[in-house]
Amino acid sequence: MSESHEQTPQELAAEAARVIAELSGIEKHDIALTLGSGWGKAATAIGEIVSEIPAEQVPGFHAAAVVGHGGKLTSIRMPDGRHALVIGARTHFYEGRGVRAVVHGVRTAAAAGATTMVLTNGAGGVNPNYSPGQPVLISDHINLTASSPIEGANFVDLTDLYSSKLRDLARTVDPTLDEGVYVQFTGPHYETPAEVRYAGIIGGDIVGMSTALEAIAARQAGMQVLGFSLITNAAAGISETPLSHAEVIEAGREAEPKLASLLSQIVPLLP
Ligand code: 8IG
């Protein structure tokens, strides 16, 4: 007699990882990356593309919601023979599919064998020292989504969530890399100027709509996390001009070659 059984998020991730292994022919991926606005070009700079899998073919993934946000999973052979999995199908909290969907890519990466998770995004700068087009290491986060990807009484430690060792490694490639605290808002609206001031007062440097929940899930899955924000715009009220999505996309496009070069030098150093 079989009992009815709800599939856990980890079981769904394991199923997705099996499909990725089958379709790519790569049994184990060592490193995983989620590439946000501006970071997409990095995929081809890291190594040779082995396989591109449309997200819809992998259990638990959905087609991309935002134009310019990938929609495929890419398996890449690195020069040293290891494999990287690029999750080009990020689900955002504001899509309303729930937190499980938001972190499914990270859990799938862990199930595929990845021990290091590189999370990147395009974001707004709160810290007045930042300029549009600048990549910033994420040193820590403040999660303002009022939610968690962890289910049940599972008290996961988040000390050094954005590994200081991996940040040091990144700075061996570019010693000028600044770092800051990422504040995840739910979006999809940008912040009000008052919310941006608040983010700064509570210790934030960067505002965005992703990454924090994913980083928590990565830590739960036992992965090391390296986080990067591309500052695409000064956050609302930091500069006089209103924010526009077109401007954000344009800043991302302009920074792409620089970011691809940066990641292509850092990723081979990652454990
Ligand atoms: I790109 O200014 C990008 N994403 N929350 N605020 C928030 N998310 C962003 C911003 C911003 N710019």
| Rounded distance between C-alpha atoms, residue 172 and residue 175, angstroms | 6
Is residue 1's pLDDT more than 70?
no
Is 252 touching ligand 1 by the criterion CB < 6 Å? no
Using the structure block, give the residue that is written with the tokens 């504001």: 94
At residue 252, the pLDDT reads 86
Amino acid at 130: Y
Q: Which two tokens stand for residue 130?
A: 């930042």
By the 8 A CB rule, do 76 and 84 touch? yes
Eight-class DSSP state of 7:
P
In whole numbers, what is the pLDDT of the chain averaged over residues? 93
CB 266 less than 6 A from any atom of ligand 1: no
Single out the residue of 121, 162, 93 nearest to residue 33, CA to CA: 121
Looking at 55-64, 113-122, 196-205, which range is the least confident one? 55-64
pLDDT, tens only, 144-158: 999 999 999 999 999
pLDDT of residue 89: 77
Average pLDDT estimate for 196-203: 98
pLDDT tens per residue across span 161-198: 999 999 999 999 999 999 999 999 999 999 999 999 99
Identify the band that residue 9 occupies on the pLDDT scale cut at 50, 70 and 90: very high
Residue 5 has pLDDT above 90, yes or no: no
Tell whether ligand 1 has an atom less than 6 A from the beta carbon of residue 122.
yes
Q: Which atom of ligand 1 is nearest to the CA of 234?
A: 2
Of 211, 180, 207, the residue nearest 194 (C-alpha): 207
**The two structure tokens encoding residue 92:** 């955002």
Read off the pLDDT of residues 50-101 as tens digits, 9 standing for 90 and up: 999 999 899 999 766 555 455 899 999 999 999 999 998 789 999 999 999 9
248 CA: nearest ligand 1 atom: 1
Active site residues: 191
- Cβ atoms of residues 120 and 66 within 8 Å: no
Please report the DSSP string for 79-127 in residue order. Answer: TTS-EEEEEE-PPPGGGSS-HHHHHHHHHHHHHTT-SEEEEEEEEEE-S
Three-class secondary structure of residue 5 per DSSP = coil
Whether pLDDT at 4 is above 70: no
CA nearest neighbour of 264 among 35, 103, 50: 35
pTM above 0.85, yes or no: yes
Q: Would you state the pLDDT for residue 8?
A: 95
Name the one residue in this structure whose structure tokens are 């000064």.
Answer: 234
Establish whether residue 191 lines the binding site of ligand 1, counting it when its CB lies within 6 angstroms of any ligand atom. Answer: yes
pLDDT at residue number 65: 56
DSSP, res 55: G
Query: Worst-scoring range by mean pLDDT, 89-93, 98-102, 203-207, 212-216?
Result: 89-93
CA angle, residues 53, 102, 164, in degrees to nearest 5? 95
Cα 185 to averaged position of ligand 1 atoms, centre (Å): 9
Pick the CATH number of 9-269 from 3.40.50.1580, 3.40.50.850, 3.40.50.620, 1.10.150.530: 3.40.50.1580
With a cut of 60, say whether residue 3 has pLDDT above it: no
How far is it, in rounded angstroms, from Cα 64 to Cα 78? Answer: 26
- Residue reference for tokens 């850092």: 266
Q: What is the pLDDT of residue 64?
A: 61
Residue 150 exposure: Cα atoms within 13 Å on the Cβ side: 16
